Every structure is written in structure tokens, then in C-alpha cells.
Chains A and B, each alone.
Chain A
Amino acid sequence: AQSVTQPDIHITVSEGASLELRCNYSYGATPYLFWYVQSPGQGLQLLLKYFSGDTLVQGIKGFEAEFKRSQSSFNLRKPSVHWSDAAEYFCAVGAMGSSYKLIFGSGTRLLVRP
């Protein structure tokens, strides 16, 4: 079955510290992978996406993610967290084509300590 697992419900980091949010997926075909961020009262904003090629992808707001096929993982990283990064982060997997639906993980809520 296709699924996405984000094992951490909450993560708290200090401002300026590094961040890694975990994402593991189960998908029958070659996956397309995404990270979205949701701030309170807002929609989901695309941070970055992986389709093919270089397994380290750069996104907006200084985020990056690395696709590791052998580990079925697509972890999100940021070297130095800012207070404005506090939000909920969703990993998603899907496949492109005429019929396109994303499967989302349950999300990780990031809290940033001053």
C-alpha cells in the first residue's frame, strides 16, 4: 500500500539550531516527493519537490531535502532555523500523469525556542 510516515509529531528546536524532519514512504513506482509547509490559518505552501536527477534538492526559505531510495526516505533539513519557521510540515508522495493525487504524511509540528 502507498503510504507516507512522518514519525515525529512534534519537534522543538532552538532558534539558530539545525533541523531535520524525517519522512519515509512506501510507494510501488518511482515516487515523486514533496515537502509542504502549513502556517496557522494558511494553506499548504510548496517548499521543494523531487522528481528525478540529483537526490539533494534545494527549496525555498533555505530548506533542502535528500532522497535516499535505499532507505525510502526524503528527510527535510535546514542548517539554521528561524522563529518564522514554526509551522506544520507535511511530506507527500505521488505520481504524475493524467491522474494525480498526493498521499500526505500526518505532519510534523515544528516549535522554535527563542
Chain B
Amino acid sequence: DSGVTQTPKHLITATGQRVTLRCSPRSGDLSVYWYQQSLDQGLQFLIQYYNGEERAKGNILERFSAQQFPDLHSELNLSSLELGDSALYFCASSDPRGNSPLHFGNGTRLTVT
């Protein structure tokens, strides 16, 4: 158990809809990262938050947004969903020390029909 909690485990929704994925980092970790894993793109970095502030952006679509709250949990919002957004979305966290690896949650599997 990595200590990173993601909810829900599975999500099935229709095209055009909006969903919110939630992540609770490991205790003490200030950074939260979101990754998307799909068959055609592999594991892609989406966005990073550090202590409530956006720190780095990757291949995140404009239809997607994220935030990190004062209690350090994070939410990834996906809107105007398309079939191609179907994927496994991972959250990871790391602690404030240097040279700290990422610890991943078990992911949320999103299916857009």
C-alpha cells in the first residue's frame, strides 16, 4: 500500500459529461502529480501541484483542470469528455525532501461511452 488514495476506482460516463477524480496524498507529502495512462499514449504526465500551487504542467488538455486544497488533497476535473479520454488516471505524491521518488495510487479507471 503506497499510502496514496484515489477515488473512485471506476467511473463510467457519457461523452460530453464532466467528472471529478479525487486524490489524497501520503501523510506528509506536499506534492501531488496526475498522470494519464492510455494504450496509445502510455503514461503521460499531466500536472503537478505543490502545497496548493500549480508547479508544473505537462500534456494536459484545456478541458482538464486540477487543484490542490489546503488539506493537500487534490482533484482532477475532466469536462466535455470524449471517447479518447477513456484511460487510467493516476495520482502520485512525494515528500518535500530532495531526491524523493513518486508514490502512486491505484488509479481511477475512466470509461467514456
Contacts and interface: CB of A to CB of B under 8 A. Distances in A.
Given A42-B106, A107-B42, A101 B101 contact: no
Q: How large is the interface on A (under 10, 10 to 19, 20 to 34, 35 or more residues)?
A: 20 to 34
Contact of A101 (B42, B58, B104): B58
B43 A99 contact: no
B56 to A, nearest CB: 4
In terms of DSSP, what is the predominant structure of the interface of chain A?
loop
B25 interface: no
A63 interface: no
B42 A43 contact: no
B98 A96 contact: yes
Contacts, number: 53
A104 interface: yes
Interface residues of B, number: 25
Contacts of B45: 101-103
A44 interface: yes
Interface string B11-50: 0000000000000000000010100000000110100101
Interface of B: 2, 4, 31, 33, 42-43, 45, 48, 50, 55-56, 58, 90, 92, 94, 98-107
Given A43-B106, A96-B100, 16 more contacts: A36-B104, A42-B106, A43-B2, A44-B104, A45-B2, A46-B101, A51-B99, A98-B55, A100-B31, A100-B56, A100-B102, A101-B56, A101-B58, A102-B102, A104-B42, A105-B42
